[in-house]
């Protein structure tokens, strides 16, 4: 940390001058970057900010306007403080105009009643500045060394976050763009204290720029992402309060280095696959993105021992059911094993298939069925084998339902393979919200998902999130600020078919109280709840909000 004005005034070399603060006493915590000695009245043009200016005042203006201008220019350039030595121009007191201008601007103004050697002051302060810079360099080197080792060793996100929390001595939370906690380290504090009501608190922290400090909450926040794709925020949770004037947060570099390690980990972890799985994944990706022609895809698949020509092709997408919040990162780390498990299940069922990861959470299969193979029987057998193998490996936390198995429509040519895979992907994304069990079929197809499923598969689309914020943002912000339940009141009203009496009963409120809450919703959102189209838009937005939060 750079020395402050207060620290410099406490130095022996300064105390010998009998310093006295005559203005700006509330701003003595300003950091000093350098000391500048000058008698020029227009010295501000030579400064960069953060300087402590020493002067005898012999060349300062005599008129009130000139003194006010001198102080204004120093303050605008960001000077840390002004020290005037008595004996050359001023003897017992400074001009009232100079003192008033400094007080109004909050610029620390100090007098020295005894003559000092300014060079001794500059040497002492510069020594403090250099020492502070050396400490910053040592801290920077330590941080870079720690995180370079973490990246090289392939440390998982929980370990990265643990190191950030340890070095900062404060809780650290990794969240996604929907303000949901992915991983955290409480740094010894109670977990409930750190994570309670997290989404509401996090929504209220919106610093400018990729990294910023919010003085109201005390949080330091930085964006996590790479290659132009941001996917989360890393938050250092500290007590509320502003930073010292003109000073950056001391843990900015630490948090940004942690965010970089997390972003790099997300890129690297995708490639931890066997050579066979990499080849299958590349081929599936080529089919989905049109990077390969039909003949190229068929030729490469044939070379891999998976003939596609003259077969019925069925796209299958597998997704692991989500567990507690930390499982979002654990599922990413287990993707390689999950892909191998899917390949093993296909072999056990004697199915010819391309098997590879489609993204950080999904595994895709393009199954090539022979003329004598029954499609439903083959898919049932695959689903049953996956459930059995998942339960044996414990990869679903003991959940006997196993992963979500989504199936696209069967097609008769390689040209249509992309369509069945995309359909299966959409069904898998939409089916994740469906509770396991209670279904006659062991897998999902397109007719099994409806509007909720459609919104769920679009949950990561920025356009859908923008729609939710446009329709419900003011109401969500109002509830977050006032700890209200207007969103819940709106939900009850719409779920009761816009029947106000039934909605009041469902909300356990008197009708006048419930009606009053609906009027507040109308005022905040600027809508008429008696209009069917407005209610339809709001209802879709609420379902989309559920999908995003899920």
Asked if pLDDT for residue 273 goes beyond 80, the answer is: no
Q: How far is the CA of 97 from the CAs of 66, 94, 104, 359, in angstroms?
A: 9, 8, 11, 68
Are the C-beta atoms of 304 and 424 separated by less than 8 Å? no
For 497, what's the count of Cα atoms within 13 Å in the CB-facing half-sphere? 1
Gap between the Cα atoms of 412 and 407, Å rounded: 15
Query: Of the given ranges (90-99, 217-226, 436-445, 502-511), which has the lowest mean pLDDT?
Result: 436-445
Determine the pLDDT at residue 523. 92
Summarize the confidence of residues 164-174 as an average pLDDT: 90
The answer to pTM > 0.85 is no
DSSP 220-239: EEEEEEETTEEEEEEEE---
Distance CA 397, CA 402 (A): 9
| CA–CA separation, 461 and 441 (whole Å) | 30
Six token digits for residue 481: 């600020």
**What is the predicted pLDDT for the residue at 196?**
84
Q: Which fold has domain 5-126?
A: 3.40.1390
Residues forming beta bridges with residue 212, ordered by sequence position = 221
Taking the alpha carbons at both ends of the chain, their separation in whole angstroms is: 43
Please name every residue paired with 52 in a beta bridge, in sequence order, or none if there are none: 35, 81
| Nearest alpha-carbon partner for 408 in 376, 373, 372, 445 | 445
* pLDDT, average across residues 190-211: 87
Asked if residue 206 lies in contact with residue 233, where contact means CB atoms within 8 angstroms, the answer is: no
Contact of 42 with 73, CB cutoff 8 Å:
yes
SS3 of 13-73: the string is HHHCCCEEEEECHHHCCCECCEEEECCCCCHHHHCCCCEEEEECCCCCCCCHHHHHHHHHH
Q: Does the pLDDT value for residue 440 go beyond 70?
A: no
Query: Among residues of the chain, what percentage have pLDDT more than 70?
Result: 90
pLDDT of 376 above 80: yes
Residues of the chain within CATH 3.30.450.30 domain(s) are 154-269
Res. 175: pLDDT tops 70? yes
Do 126 and 37 touch, CB atoms closer than 8 A? no
Bin 46: left if φ > 0, else alpha if -120 < ψ < 50, else beta.
Answer: alpha
Q: Are 224 and 235 in contact (CB under 8 A)?
A: no
Percent of all residues in the chain with a pLDDT value above 90, rounded to a whole number: 35
* Dist CA 155 CA 201 (whole Å): 29
Q: Where in the chain is the domain with CATH 3.40.1390.20?
A: 5-126
CB 91 within 8 Å of CB 113:
no
CATH T-level fold of 272-456: Alpha-Beta Plaits (3.30.70)
Sign for the CA dihedral angle at 519, 520, 522, 523 comes to positive
Assign 365 to helix, strand or coil.
Answer: strand
Give me the mean pLDDT over the 28-32 stretch.
88
- Give per-residue pLDDT as tens, 302-324: 877 788 999 999 999 998 765 54
Please state, in angstroms and rounded to a whole number, the distance separating the CA atoms of residues 32 and 500: 64
Query: Using alpha carbons only, how large is the chain's radius of gyration in Å?
Result: 33
What are the pLDDT digits (tens) for 136-154? 777 677 777 777 877 777 7
- Domain 154-269 = CATH 3.30.450.30: yes
Instruction: Tell me the average pLDDT across 45-69.
Output: 91
User: Two tokens at 161?
Assistant: 């976050």
Q: Across the chain, what does the average pLDDT equal?
A: 85
Q: How far, in whole angstroms, is CA 158 from its chain's centroid?
A: 15
Q: Please return the burial class of 335, using the count of CB atoms within 10 Å of its CB with bins 0-12, 13-18 and 19+.
A: buried
Distance between CA atoms of residues 427 and 446, nearest Å:
6
Classify strands 229-236 and 219-226 as parallel, antiparallel or unpaired: antiparallel
- What is the rounded distance in angstroms from the CA atom of residue 543 to the CA atom of residue 550? 11
Residue 232 has a CB neighbour count (10 Å cut-off) of 24
CA distance 474 to 524: 6
Provide the pLDDT for residue 482: 86
The tokens for 92 are: 């017992």
Q: What is the dihedral of CA 304, 308, 309, 311, to 10 degrees?
A: 140
From the list 88, 95, 92, the residue with the least C-alpha distance to 71 is 95
**Which run of H or E residues covers position 254?**
helix 252-268
Give start-end residues of each CATH 3.30.70 domain in the chain: 272-456
| Pairing mode of beta strands 404-407, 51-55 | unpaired
Q: Are 284 and 39 in contact (CB under 8 A)?
A: no
Query: How far, in Å, CA of 119 to CA of 443, rounded?
Result: 82
- 416-420's contacts with Cβ under 8 Å and 24+ in sequence apart are 416/313, 417/287, 417/297, 417/308, 417/313, 417/315, 417/366, 418/287, 418/288, 418/290, 419/315, 420/313, 420/314, 420/315, 420/366
The confidence score (pLDDT) of residue 438 equals 52
What's the rounded mean pLDDT across residues 472-481?
90
Residues 254, 14: contact at Cβ < 8 Å? no
Nearest to 308 by CA among 235, 417, 184: 417
**What's CA 257's distance to the chain center, in Å?**
14
- Euclidean distance between CA atoms 505 and 483, whole angstroms: 22
């Amino acid at each position: 940390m750079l020395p402050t004005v207060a620290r410099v005034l406490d130095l022996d070399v300064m105390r010998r001058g009998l310093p006295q603060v005559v203005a700006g006493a509330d701003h003595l915590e300003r950091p000093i970057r350098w000391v500048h000695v000058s008698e020029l009245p227009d010295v501000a043009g030579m400064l960069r900010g953060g300087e402590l200016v020493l002067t005898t005042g012999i060349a300062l203006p005599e008129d009130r306007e000139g003194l006010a201008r001198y102080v204004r220019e120093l303050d605008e350039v960001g000077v840390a403080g002004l020290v005037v030595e008595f004996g050359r121009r001023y003897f017992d007191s400074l001009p009232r105009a100079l003192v008033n201008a400094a007080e109004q601007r909050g610029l620390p103004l100090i007098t020295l009643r005894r003559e000092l050697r300014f060079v001794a002051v500059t040497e002492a302060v510069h020594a403090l500045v250099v020492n502070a810079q050396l400490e910053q360099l040592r801290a920077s080197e330590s941080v870079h060394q720690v995180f370079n080792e973490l990246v090289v060793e392939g440390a998982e996100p929980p370990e990265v976050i643990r190191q950030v929390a340890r070095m900062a001595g404060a809780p650290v939370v990794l969240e996604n763009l929907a303000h949901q906690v992915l991983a955290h380290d409480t740094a010894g504090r109670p977990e409930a204290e750190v994570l309670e009501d997290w989404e509401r608190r996090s929504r209220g922290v919106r610093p400018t720029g990729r990294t910023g400090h919010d003085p109201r909450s005390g949080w330091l926040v930085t964006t996590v992402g790479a290659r132009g794709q941001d996917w989360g925020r890393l938050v250092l949770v500290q007590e509320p309060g502003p930073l010292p004037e003109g000073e950056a947060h001391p843990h900015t570099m630490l948090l940004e280095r942690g965010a970089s390690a997390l972003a790099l980990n997300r890129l690297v972890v995708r490639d931890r696959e066997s050579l066979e799985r990499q080849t299958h994944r590349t081929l599936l990706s080529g089919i989905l993105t049109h990077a390969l022609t039909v003949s190229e895809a068929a030729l490469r698949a044939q070379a891999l021992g998976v003939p596609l020509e003259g077969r019925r092709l069925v796209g299958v997408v597998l997704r692991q059911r989500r567990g507690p919040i930390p499982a979002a990162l654990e599922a990413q780390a287990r993707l390689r094993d999950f892909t191998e498990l899917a390949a093993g299940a296909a072999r056990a069922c004697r199915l010819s298939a391309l098997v590879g990861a489609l993204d950080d959470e999904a595994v895709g299969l393009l199954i090539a069925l022979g003329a004598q193979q029954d499609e439903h029987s083959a898919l049932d057998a695959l689903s049953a084998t996956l459930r059995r193998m998942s339960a044996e490996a414990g990869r679903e936390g003991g959940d006997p339902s196993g992963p979500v198995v989504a199936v696209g429509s069967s097609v008769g040519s390689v040209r249509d393979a992309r369509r069945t895979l995309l359909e299966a992907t959409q069904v898998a994304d939409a089916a994740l919200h469906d509770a396991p069990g209670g279904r006659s079929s062991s897998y999902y197809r397109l007719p099994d998902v409806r509007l909720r499923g459609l919104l769920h598969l679009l949950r990561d689309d920025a356009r859908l999130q923008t729609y939710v914020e446009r329709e419900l943002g003011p109401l969500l912000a109002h509830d977050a600020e006032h700890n209200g339940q207007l969103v819940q009141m709106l939900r009850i009203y719409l779920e009761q078919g816009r029947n106000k009496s039934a909605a009041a009963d469902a909300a356990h409120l008197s009708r006048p109280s419930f009606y009053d809450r609906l009027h507040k919703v109308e005022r905040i959102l600027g809508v008429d709840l008696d209009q069917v189209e407005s209610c339809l838009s709001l209802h879709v937005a609420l379902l989309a909000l559920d999908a995003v939060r899920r």
